[in-house]
Chains A and B, each alone.
Chain A
Amino acid sequence: MKLKAMYSFLNGDLNRIEEQLKITVQASDPLVNEASLHLLEAGGKRIRPVFVLLGGQFGTYHFEQMKRVAVALELIHMASLVHDDVIDGATLRRGKETIQARWGDRFAMYVGDYLFARALEQMCEINDPIAHQILANTIVEVCRGEIEQISDKYRFDQNLRRYLQRIKRKTALLIAASCQLGAVVAGAPEAVHKKLYWFGYYVGMSFQITDDILDFIGTEKQLGKPAGSDLSQGNVTLPVLYAMEERTLKEQIMKVNEHTTSREMAHVIDGIKRTNAIEKSYELGDRYLQKALDMLQKLPRNRAWTALYNIAKYIGKRKY
Chain B
Amino acid sequence: MDIRQQMEQVRTRIQHAIAHSYVDRYIQPRTIDEDRISFALSMLRSTRVETSIALDYVFAMMLIQLALDTHDEVDKQQMMQKKQLTVLAGDLYSGLYYEFLAKRHDVSLIRRFAEAIKEINIQKIRLQQLSPDDIERFHCIGVIESALLRKLSEHVHAHEWGELAYYLFSLKRIQREEAKSKAMVDYTDHCKRKVQDLFYLHHEEVKERFSHLLA
Q: Which residues of B contact A27 (CB under 8 A)?
A: 118, 122
Q: Is residue B211 within 8 Å, beta carbon to beta carbon, of the partner chain?
A: no
Chain A, 6-62, CB within 8 A of any chain B CB: 27-29, 31-32
Contacting A at CB under 8 A, from B74-108, are 74-75, 80-81, 83-85, 87-92, 94-96, 98-99, 102-103, 105, 107-108
Q: Are A86 and B85 in contact (CB under 8 A)?
A: no
Report the minimal beta-carbon distance from B24 to chain A, rounded to whole angstroms.
Answer: 11
When distances are taken between beta carbons in the complex, the residues of chain A under 8 Å from B122 are 27-29, 32, 114
A132 touching B102, Cβ below 8 Å: yes
Asked if B156 is an interface residue, CB under 8 A from chain A, the answer is no
* Contact pick for B84, options A87, A110, A120, CB 8 Å: A87
One of B22, B85, B95, B121 near A111 (C-beta < 8 A): B121
Q: In the complex, A111 Cα to B124 Cα: how many Å?
A: 10
Chain B contacts for A140, CB-based, 8 A: 92, 95-96, 98-99
Q: CB-nearest residue of chain A relative to B116?
A: A117
CB contacts (< 8 Å) of B81 on chain A: these are: 150
Q: In this assembly, does B214 line the interface, its C-beta being within 8 Å of a C-beta of chain A? A: no
C-alpha gap A120/B99 in the complex (Å): 12
Interface of A: prevailing SS: helix
> In the bound complex, do residue A106 and residue B115 qualify as a contact, i.e. CB atoms below 8 Å apart?
no
Pairwise interchain contact A110-B121, C-beta atoms closer than 8 A: yes
Task: Decide if A230 is an interface residue (CB 8 Å cutoff).
Answer: no
| B158 interface contact, C-beta 8 A | no
- Rounded to whole Å, the gap between the CB of A177 and the closest CB of chain B is 13
How far apart are the CA atoms of A116 and B117 in the complex, in Å? Answer: 9
Closest CB-CB distance, A206 to chain B, in whole Å? 26
A89, CB-defined interface residue at 8 Å: yes
Cβ of A133 within 8 Å of any chain B Cβ, yes or no, is yes
Which residues of A175-224 have CB atoms within 8 Å of chain B's CB atoms?
none
Identify the closest chain A residue to B70 (Cβ). Answer: A109
Interface: B128 (CB within 8 A): yes
- In the complex, whether B32 has a CB less than 8 A from a CB of chain A is no
A-B residue pairs in contact (CB < 8 Å), sample of 16: A106-B74, A109-B72, A109-B74, A109-B87, A110-B124, A113-B90, A117-B114, A117-B115, A117-B117, A120-B117, A124-B114, A133-B99, A136-B102, A147-B20, A150-B84, A151-B22
| List of 8 A-B pairs having minimum Cβ-Cβ separation, nearest first | A120-B114, A117-B117, A124-B111, A132-B102, A136-B99, A117-B118, A136-B102, A140-B95
